[in-house]
Amino acid sequence: MPKIPPCSRYSLVFGVIGSLIGLINMLATMEDPKAIGCIMAVCVLTVFYGLLLGQFIYSS
């Protein structure tokens, strides 16, 4: 089994942490339906950036 570089692992973890923070913010603003879309976009983008950095930039 190949070893995963630490930067790759950390970027994936930070992507998941960013999505959790975004979900918490989304749950805090449930009374404003217009804000939910923007916050949900941040959740998806943090996961996307974490995967992008982890798989394509930092992988060796």
pLDDT at 5: 72
**What is the count of structural domains for the chain?**
1
Q: Is the pTM of this model over 0.85?
A: no
- Reported for 23-31, long-range contacts at CB under 8 A and 24+ positions apart, including other chains, are none
AA identity, residue 50: G
What tens digit of pLDDT does each residue of 5-56 get? 778 888 888 999 999 999 999 999 989 888 889 999 999 999 999 889 888 8
Q: Which range of residues forms the domain containing residue 29?
A: 6-57
Closest to 46 (Cα-Cα) out of 24, 10, 16, 23: 16
pLDDT at 53: 87
Residue 16 lies in a domain: yes
What gap in Å lies between CA 49 and CA 37, rounded to an integer? 18
**Res. 4 pLDDT band, cuts 50 70 90:** low
Whether residue 11 is contained in a domain is answered as: yes
Give the count of alpha carbons within 13 A of 30, CB side only.
Answer: 4
CB-based contact 45:16 (threshold 8 Å):
no
